[in-house]
Amino acid sequence: MSPEEASRHKSMSSEDFVMSVNRALDFGYGPHPSSSSLDHYMEKLFSGSGHTAASTKECFEVPPRAIGLISERMAFPLSLMHSHDYVSKGLALVGDAAHTVHPLAGQGVNLGFGDAAALAKVISEGVSVGADIGDLSLL
């Protein structure tokens, strides 16, 4: 959402905010799935045996509904940045020095670990065949 929308959502009452979250969850991903004719057939097939799965009798709810707040609301601007040059002679950028992603998904540290592991492997293989550790083609 825009910074203005984020500010508006932060200043809403708790009740209005929860309603807004549920509205976004309900309508933000398209229509809800509905029962299929297969569900009706399975319920009819097993109704006499007493072995009907509970799921055939319950309404399918996507997603669960928010019922309240458990902490202060916070807003984080989303960002994605990356370097134009990742390597130069004797230098390789990894992790947040090479690329940054917004903090909400927790993927930044995983990308950094992957960068470091890949770079360590390439350097190790290069050194084992006598390559210069800082050679641009190796990095």
- Better-predicted residue by pLDDT, 65 or 127: 127
15 and 69 Cβ atoms separated by less than 8 Å: no
**DSSP result, the chain:** --HHHHHHHHHS-HHHHHHHHHHHHHHTT-SPP---HHHHHHHHHHTTTT---GGGTS---SSPPP---SS--------EEE-S--EETTEE--GGGTEEE-GGG--HHHHHHHHHHHHHHHHHHHHHTT--TT-TTT-
pLDDT over 80 (residue 128)? yes
Q: How confident is the model at residue 29 (pLDDT cuts 50, 70, 90)?
A: low
- The domain of 8 spans 1-77
CB atoms within 10 A of CB 103: 13
Q: Record the pTM.
A: 0.50
pLDDT over 90 (residue 91)? yes
Residue 33 lies in a domain: yes
Residue 35 lies in a domain: yes
Same-domain pairing of 45 and 3: yes
Residue 138 lies in a domain: no
Same-domain pairing of 2 and 63: yes
How many independent structural domains does the chain possess? Answer: 2
Same-domain pairing of 123 and 90: yes
> What letters, b where the CB count within 10 A reaches 16 and e where it falls short, cover 20-53?
ebeeeeeeeeeeeeeeeeeeeeeeeeeeeeeeee
Same-domain pairing of 6 and 57: yes
Same-domain pairing of 73 and 85: no
